[in-house]
Structure 1
Amino acid sequence: MRDNMENPNIPEITPAEPVSAFSLMFTAEHVGIITVDVPGEKVNTLKAEFAQQICAILQKAQQYPNLKGLVLVSGKTDSFIAGADITMISGCKTAVEASQLAQKGQTVMSQIASFSVPVVAAIHGACLGGGLELALACHARVCSLDDKTQLGLPEVQLGLLPGSGGTQRLPRLIGAPKALDMMLTGRSIRAKQALRMGLVDDAVPYSILLKTALERVAKGRRSRPPLPWQARLAGGPLGKSLLFYFVRKQTRAKTHGNYPATEKIIDVVKTGLDQGSGNGYQAEARAFGELVMTPQSAALRGLFFASTALKKEKGADAEPLPVSRVGILGGGLMGGGIANVTATRAGLPVRIKDINHEGIRHALKYSWDLLEKKVRSRRLTRNEQQRQMMLISGTTDYSGFSQIDIVVEAVFEDLKLKQSMVAEIEKNAAPHTIFASNTSSLPIHQIAEKATRPERVIGLHYFSPVDKMPLVEVIPHAGTSAQTISTTVSLAKKQGKTAIVVGDSAGFYVNRILAPYINEAARCLLAGEPVDHIDNALVNFGFPVGPVQLLDEVGIDVGTKIGPILVEAFGERFAAPSGFDAVLQDDRKGRKNGKGFYLYGQKGRGTKKKQVDPSVYRLLNVTPKAQQSGEEIAQRCVMLMLNEAVRCLDENVIRSARDGDLGAVFGIGFPPFRGGPFRYIDTLGAASVVKTLEQLAQRYGEHFTPCEGLRRRAEQGERFCP
């Protein structure tokens, strides 16, 4: 009997009885093939009950006479093993229980590593977390050259560390520097890079992956030893001390002490190298258990579950229409970014319409430059770059728009202009074409009020830069059809975005909670707090950049346009502090015109840290002097954001606290380890938040007054998150 995979090079095999997620068969050359195929799931994930199943399958293999070795493969089409089942980890009630879970995983991996004949992992697709730890326990690894193949240990992104031996095996295989980089960043490695760094022993086309692995076993070839330079850097008292000193220093500069998993990873790797792998495994299991119980890991796992659940939702109770072509109106920064993610991630043809050829050239160059970076870093071939660029075309008229399924408008924030765009699309596109406006503040019902097909008008708010920011807000108005909503959400997912459906009100959700946060930072600045002191306060709190630098990045002019719209809709609590408009009157737009709160174009100054433009203080007529602590400044800015988030939930601007947390984390970088505004309120307690807001209101003004919904939950002891 032959294997049913479409590969003529596979030798004859004799099937054996399958054991749950693991099945075993033997070739005529006496090599066992263990196939991992978790029933009823799209990808393989490791579960606690698999420990016994793996042990059983290894015992069965050992009983086979003349066994030369084993090859471990996946039964899934596009993945090897995507990691451990996170619900299994979240089910642990104590640190001891979580440590025991890690020890069980270590024991299984140890049995594979100590198996009497060679065990080779044949890797195709995602090989992450526990999946890579299992591959590391094998005696050799062969992977496919397919783009789907990625290897990594992303546990740090869940506030954890690899708990099944990964912290000990990876440094010994590829050296401590590269191993620490992989574990501390959680980044994935592609096949060719994995081969260069010694993570895998061979990388071949998928069509001969299994054949290559079988041949390696038949020849008794195990993994190559670590390279000499890797071994030298991993050992030696002075080199080792310097390595861990600088890694710890760099890590703390990035995390500001907010992610305990990074410290634990460094400690556990160092323990293993200093005291031997036995002590290293013990330290790993103990640290894993402690990290599972931290609030940071609980918050990060909560975000993981929330985003996973959101990916399964359509946004509305209707099947999406198929989208085969996308149109973009406007070739500016946003238009070029939207065109890029549509072509390179969704793989869809894009037609850009601009009033002149210069706009089209700008949009095309935007994508070319991004792809060129990938080519230079060997993440993309030149042929693939050309293929993706061929998906993007441009026009100064509406030629080709009759075949477009959805048009994304990215022109200036002008209501009449956007309404005229709707009319032109209805005239030049097909009756089924959806018009999606990338507006950041204008109500969608106003954009749609003159449309002949208002049910096909919707908001689709991207964040800049589009290729990096993961969130989009999908904004239906009252007359938008369910199918338009689901189709728009479907497109956003294909573009690699996290899409939340939000209500059609001024500022939508993200900009509405961001505005009071920025305004309070401005009040601190006008009171004399230095720009960098304000920004450092919020970076130390956990934001990727501070509020003043963020204003420079998005554009000071853009930020000030949203304010009046919010004031008109919700009142004076959104009013920017008087005197702050002097910045815009001085033609300071931030990074885009090289003139903002920080200095730009100051190369050769001997520091990577941004320098504040001192002329800002003279412009605002303030003398900079830090008077409040960083904690006080962060509290003032963040409390206003929390208060506004609760209002958004109660006014149905967002559908759930879950969506509010995801929107804040992915849209404005709310600290992931705090889980989002609503989980953070739960952590502090609603009563504590109300008390803090009341104290701030007494000191700084009534805009800090706690909203009714927050007071009610404080009185009733309600939580936002399960």
Structure 2
Amino acid sequence: MTEQTMTETTESRSAFSLNVRDDGIAILTMDVPGETMNTLKIEFAEQIAAMLDEIEANKQIKGVVLVSGKDSSFVAGADISMLAACQSANDAETIAKGGQDIFQRIEDMSIPFVAAIHGPALGGGLELALACHYRVCTDDAKTQLGLPEVQLGLLPGSGGTQRLPRLIGIQQAMKMMLTGAPVRPKQAKKYGIVDEMVPKSILLDVAIKLANKKARKPSGPNRNLQDKLLEGTGFGRNILFKQARKQTLAKTQGNYPAPLKIIDCIEAGVNKGFKQGLQVEARNFGQLVMTPESKQLRNIFFATTEMKKETGVEGVEPGKLEKVGVLGGGLMGGGIAFVTATKAGLPARIKDVRHEGIANAMKYSYDLLIKKVKRRFMMKSQMQKQMALLTGSLDYSGFSDADVVIEAVFEDVKLKQQMVADVESHCNEATIFASNTSSIPIHKIAAEAQRPENVIGLHYFSPVDKMPLAEVIAHEKTSDKTISTTVELARKQGKTPIVVKDGAGFYVNRILAPYMNEAANVLLAGEPIEHIDKSLVKFGFPVGPVKLLDEVGIDVGTKIIPILMDQFGDRFKSADAFDKVLADDRKGKKNKRGFYSYDGKKPGKEVDESIYSLLNVTPAKKLSSEELAERCVMMMLNEAAMCLEEGVIRSPRDGDIGAIFGIGFPPFLGGPFRYMDTLGAKHVVARLNHYSATLGDKFTPAKILVEMSENDGKFYG
């Protein structure tokens, strides 16, 4: 068979097949041809309709069990790439209505439909299951149920905003939809999303038993007295929705339209009925598809999906990964060992100079895992299995067969060079030495290496178990094999890796430094700390720059400045304020002395007013929130453009993902490069020139931006 014929066969083959058993129970299997996971596509509407016609016409069928033909997933959601073809909100609304009609047809069936769920049932996948009369899921770790559409600036558009609240109650359903977070099998059973939770081996048997029951109409959740008062009365619901909107606006700063639209849908369905709720849902879905926020969030989704397929260096396959060494049992070392054992499933050998260091690193993992056990997210046996992958040593015993050794010791070049020498003498010739330095150029760490091709940077962000980014930093002599292997390790550890060029600050810290410096300059000019931080949070950052400095440690945050100045000159000169703050032994949250106060009832929430007298500043608002945010952000945008110009990052895409995942650049703006495209290069250059004329050369626009402004250029074509 030719390749073309195979493709045609795959494309023409239906994603659905029906097998009617002798007992009258039909097994309806969804198996999208040529895909590793099932996704719902617009072209499936006719196929599903044909299957439902066949089921209705066959009077021998007493019940239907819906299963996946994929080993590890039920339905991972709708194929969101189809939304790009929508020219208007009406086009997108039509898609939503089409999904609603099909799922309504399933719910209206006179015979029972049972969803047998193993693996992810997300978005449209869960909406499909919710339209069935019964649901049973496996107790497997792969199984998760959720409606994550909000993370793409959307809402569940095929009945999810209506069916989930009437099944499990308004509050729990709203929480799931507003966060987009999936639930595990035990939670799904507890909340009432599924009727049964069983081992995978008996999933089909239990589903068939349920299919022999009668089809049922949703009866509503079992509510306690408090929930009955809140959800069961008009007065209570008014309070509930009012509070939900208030909390949502406080969290989103009004930057994300989807959460409020989700609340509108739920409220319409509860107060005006199911049909009205579906109409509001379809209309709101259509409007959200066309918003710039959703378009940018979908861009991020496509970018990260694309990055998962890349190897680090095109055409170069990664080396074997069977064991990892970690040097240093501090906070970073402990975090790196944790993601190596729990996410990558690889043995991690921790070396520290003190027993306490190893014990602390072990405790880091134990504390995180025992929480999951207590919350019943994992079994104790699973935890013990993962903890068994962690071992420790005061010397290099057990390191000889390590494929990668990750160094997480103090920021000291000589110490790191000594680590390289130690690894080269105690490990094998192919062992990769990866430095978790946040600021020291990798070529300096590799300067005395016998095998510099094996030396690379692997920069994690704190806390390692939560932050999704890793910077992979190659110096001039790093081999392609080393790059690809390190990218693969970071990905196995659950990270999104970007490959960046060696140099002071790499990418993320380099674009963060001028932003933080400008915030310090504004503070010294008299702007109140709360005003600075609130202005940047309103712009879309998760925390303001002054608060961020307290969180990471003022001593740590300022350590990079001399390194940047050494390479780039006075453009990175920091305000003298930092020296005064450090001289007063203010390191931030870690020693409970910083810009914020850590005493009283609200530790870390209120500014320590004594900071103003220390800096000889009388606080008074002079700048608007918009101007204040613009000054700080323009410094970051300009630096990002310079990084692209110098080849520090490979593409605007990598620069956007690095900024969003590394420092919380507002996702709804799409990252620094997509944001500059939205503003237009002419506008960016004009604003930089404006500040350059009034505040100095540090605002001088990057050459790449000037050229783009003259040629109406864009970072993304």
TM-score normalised over the length of structure 2: 0.96
Contact 2:112 2:212 in 1 (8 A): no
Aligned pairs (5 A) from 1:216-231: 216-220=210-214, 222=216, 225-229=219-223
Partner-residue secondary structure (3-state), 2:519: helix
1:647 and 2:642 matched: yes
d(CA) in 2 for partners of 1:27 and 1:355? 66
Partner-residue secondary structure (3-state), 1:572: helix
Code of the aligned partner of 1:550: L
1:562 aligned residue (560, 563, 583): 560
Contact 1:175 1:233 in 2 (8 A): no
Partner-residue secondary structure (3-state), 2:312: coil
Q: Deviations over 1:264-317 (max 9, x none)?
A: 111111111111111111111111111011010010000000010011101113
Q: Deviations over 1:87-126 (max 9, x none)?
A: 1112211111011111111111111111120001000000
d(CA) in 2 for partners of 1:33 and 1:654? 50
1:66 aligned residue (60, 68, 82): 60
Aligned to 1:146: 140
1:351 aligned residue (349, 352, 355): 349
Code of the aligned partner of 2:122: L
1:692 and 2:662 matched: no
Aligned to 2:290: 293
Contact 2:597 2:604 in 1 (8 A): no
Shift of 1:233: 4.0
Aligned to 1:169: 163
Aligned to 2:659: 664
Shift of 1:131: 0.4
d(CA) in 1 for partners of 2:409 and 2:604? 34
Contact 1:526 1:580 in 2 (8 A): no
d(CA) in 1 for partners of 2:356 and 2:378? 27
Contact 1:176 1:233 in 2 (8 A): no
Shift of 1:627: 1.5
1:401 aligned residue (399, 402, 409): 399
Partner-residue secondary structure (3-state), 2:411: coil
Aligned pairs (5 A) from 1:271-350: 271-316=268-313, 317-350=315-348
1:249 and 2:243 matched: no
Aligned to 2:576: 578
Shift of 1:224: 6.5
Code of the aligned partner of 1:297: S
Q: Deviations over 1:189-220 (max 9, x none)?
A: 11111111111111111110011000111133
Aligned pairs (5 A) from 1:170-569: 170-220=164-214, 222=216, 225-229=219-223, 233-316=230-313, 317-569=315-567
Contact 1:36 1:72 in 2 (8 A): yes
Range with greater deviation from structure 2 (420-429 or 278-287): 278-287
Contact 1:141 1:223 in 2 (8 A): no
Contact 1:408 1:437 in 2 (8 A): yes
Shift of 1:697: 1.6
Residues 579 and 19 from structure 1, CA distance in 2 versus in 1: closer, same or farther, beyond 3 angstroms? Answer: closer
d(CA) in 2 for partners of 1:228 and 1:151? 20
Code of the aligned partner of 1:80: F
What is the RMSD computed on CA atoms of the aligned residues? Answer: 1.3
Aligned to 2:3: none
1:701 and 2:699 matched: no
Contact 2:112 2:213 in 1 (8 A): no
Aligned to 1:99: 93
d(CA) in 1 for partners of 2:632 and 2:318? 40
Partner-residue secondary structure (3-state), 2:255: coil
Contact 2:110 2:215 in 1 (8 A): no
Partner-residue secondary structure (3-state), 1:120: strand
Code of the aligned partner of 1:568: D
4+ aligned runs moved over 6 Å, structure 1: none
d(CA) in 2 for partners of 1:263 and 1:108? 26
Percent identity over the alignment is: 61
d(CA) in 2 for partners of 1:492 and 1:323? 11
Structure 1: gaps of 5 or more residues: 1-17
Code of the aligned partner of 1:492: A
Contact 1:171 1:234 in 2 (8 A): no
d(CA) in 2 for partners of 1:314 and 1:372? 34
d(CA) in 2 for partners of 1:589 and 1:401? 35
Q: Deviations over 1:570-626 (max 9, x none)?
A: 1111100233310111121111222111122x35x2x57711111111111111122
Contact 2:26 2:64 in 1 (8 A): yes
Code of the aligned partner of 1:206: K
Range with greater deviation from structure 2 (364-373 or 287-296): 364-373
1:614 aligned residue (606, 609, 615): 609
2:595 aligned residue (594, 597, 606): 597
Code of the aligned partner of 1:508: F
d(CA) in 2 for partners of 1:177 and 1:219? 30
Contact 1:402 1:430 in 2 (8 A): yes
Partner-residue secondary structure (3-state), 1:347: coil
Code of the aligned partner of 2:353: I
Code of the aligned partner of 1:319: E
d(CA) in 1 for partners of 2:165 and 2:624? 41
d(CA) in 2 for partners of 1:622 and 1:372? 47
d(CA) in 2 for partners of 1:620 and 1:361? 41
Code of the aligned partner of 2:203: L
TM-score normalised over the length of structure 1: 0.96
Shift of 1:320: 0.6
Q: Deviations over 1:322-356 (max 9, x none)?
A: 11110000011100010011111111111000111
Shift of 1:410: 0.4
Shift of 1:236: 1.1
Shift of 1:232: 5.7
Q: How many residues align?
A: 702
Aligned to 1:49: 43
Shift of 1:63: 2.0
Code of the aligned partner of 2:559: K
Range with greater deviation from structure 2 (226-235 or 52-61): 226-235
Partner-residue secondary structure (3-state), 1:580: helix
Aligned to 2:7: none
Structure 2: gaps of 5 or more residues: 1-11
Contact 1:19 1:57 in 2 (8 A): no
Partner-residue secondary structure (3-state), 1:502: strand
1:630 aligned residue (612, 625, 633): 625
